[in-house]
Amino acid sequence: MEPMFSPPLHRQRHQFVIDFVKRYKPKKVVDLGCSECSLLKKLKFHREIELLVGVDINGANVKKKMHGLAPISTDYLQPSYDQLRVELYQGSVTQKDARLRGFDLVTSIELIEHLTLADVECFSEVVFGYMTPGSVIISTPNSEFNPLFPRLAGFRHSDHKFEWTRAEFKSWALKVCLEYGYEVTFTGVGQAPPGQQEGVGFCSQIGVFHRRGGRECCNMLFCDHTENVFSYTLLYSINYPSLHDNNIKRRVLVSEVLYWAEKLKRSWMAKKTGERDDTFTLCQAEGEGEDCLRALERNMEMEEKQTAACGAAMRNTVEPQDGEDGGLFWTNDRGEQESSALHRCVCVPLTLLWSSSQKVSALSGSLSNLRHLLMDDPEVKLSPDGSAVLLNYQEQDHENEGEDPDDLEDSGYAEARQCSHTAEPEEDWEANV
Ligand code: SAM
């Protein structure tokens, strides 16, 4: 009866690498002999990794499933600050390529037994002598385990050029360490049945190599640029969306601002008309009800004061009161009649958006950055002084009247343009985030 492994042996090998990644948190990882990228697909979820590379001599195999390494919709919808770039190459591990130098971790899972012994020598020089990674994980079949596969005649796979005993693997590994300055520990996956483990060892033997002297030693080696060869062919590369990319950050910020502006507008309008406010219910459900209500109350008070201050002014060009935190709404209309709603805007002050949404404040870093970012965005209408987001008073304004929402003269923007707030001095966005 052939030994069965649970979980399957290939999964145990990959899990070994994943456990190592969790423990040592390498930033740059390359998988040599990546085949159909199944290990890479698991590693991409470990977001401490910033550069994930796969190499295989068989480009067709890599191409089969490489698109499974692309970002998924949530990576775009909810990008984080994590950064990840994935690169896949066709090339031989017996050849040098400068793009693979300086990695934190190199994995070679069930690869070396596919090389001739002469090529294993080249592999040793390329990986340990040229790439000089911080750590290397090498797995290869342990031939001492083979008698436990009763139907096995010869090697485990027709393409294997050799299968080493534990002593043979150890002898090669120690020689590599001596030559290139590494130290190694031996382990494996795929336990033998009870009582036989010591006699036969693991089904897959694993050597874990660490560079002596750590990263500093490694960096010194890169002063030598004499061997900047590029022998591999790039098959695929992708950058995952990250909030470190200012365009992505701006897109996320704008959608959060528009969401909150609309939410606050609806709450205010519902309160004004005495209607049931589903948005406010939503605020409460999110545990923000009290803050939301208080902000709105302040707005209402401010609006009343300002309406009184403006009296029957044709437009409400209101100033925040001294000592107030600027939390206000005002309707910007042609003023004559309540019924002329179609020309009104609701202005949602940036200060209110800032205090209402932690995400808005975290993403923008400062109020003036927020203003700066929104100013350049075609999706957002800001008041002329840049202190508030302008929303149409009623959504049906344009639907009903066939009005062009971009026609600033008719949408109430023209009036809002006359507001006389003084913009805060701008800060450098790049310097603040
Ligand atoms: N590492 C894979 C995994 O864990 O799922 C499986 C590796 S598969 C058994 C061996 C891989 O090594 C094959 O995809 C093969 O194309 C690749 N290979 C063989 N010789 C190679 C070489 N000289 N350079 C790079 N890849 C090679």
| Closest-lying ligand 1 atom to the alpha carbon of residue 31 | 1
Strand order across the beta sheet in which 204-211 lies? 182-189, 204-211, 135-141, 105-109, 28-32, 51-56, 85-90, 233-239
Ligand 1, residue 13: give the atom nearest the CA. 4
- For residue 357, pLDDT beyond 80: yes
**203 touches 142 (CB < 8 A):** yes
Instruction: Please tell me the distance from the alpha carbon of residue 87 to that of residue 34, in angstroms, as a whole number.
Output: 12
Band (431; pLDDT cuts 50, 70, 90): very low
38 C-alpha to center of ligand 1: Å? 12
pLDDT for the residue 294? 53
CA distances from 183 to 16, 174, 177, 178 (A): 19, 8, 6, 8
Buried b (16+ CB within 10 A) or exposed e, 212-243: eeeeeebeeeeeeeeeeeeebeebbebebbbb
Domain with CATH 3.40.50.150 in the chain: 9-239
Q: Whose CA is nearest to atom 17 of ligand 1?
A: 33
Burial of 399 (0-12, 13-18, 19+ CB in 10 A): exposed
The answer to whether the peptide bond before residue 8 is cis (omega within 30 degrees of 0) is no
φ and ψ at 168, to 5 degrees? Answer: -65, -45
Report yes or no on whether pTM surpasses 0.85.
Answer: no
Give residue 322's pLDDT: 32
Tell which atom from ligand 1 comes closest to the C-alpha of 38.
5
Residue scoring higher pLDDT (427 or 265): 265
Asked which of 103-112, 148-157, 331-340, 357-366 is least confident by mean pLDDT, the reply is: 331-340
Strands (E), 91-169: 105-109, 135-141
Radius of gyration of the chain (CA): 32
Instruction: For 131-162, write each residue's pLDDT tens digit.
Output: 999 999 999 999 999 999 989 999 999 999 99
- Which residues have C-beta atoms less than 6 Å from ligand 1? 10, 13, 33-35, 38-39, 55-58, 61, 92-94, 109-111, 114-115
Q: What is the distance in A from the centroid of ligand 1 to the CA of 146?
A: 21
- Cα–Cα distance for residue pair 433/429, rounded to 1 Å: 6
Q: What is the pLDDT of residues 22-57, one digit of tens each?
A: 999 999 999 999 999 999 999 999 989 999 999 999
Domain 9-239 has CATH 3.40.50.300: no
> How many angstroms separate the alpha carbon of residue 205 from the centre of ligand 1?
17
Query: What residues pair up with 330 in beta bridges, in sequence order?
Result: 347
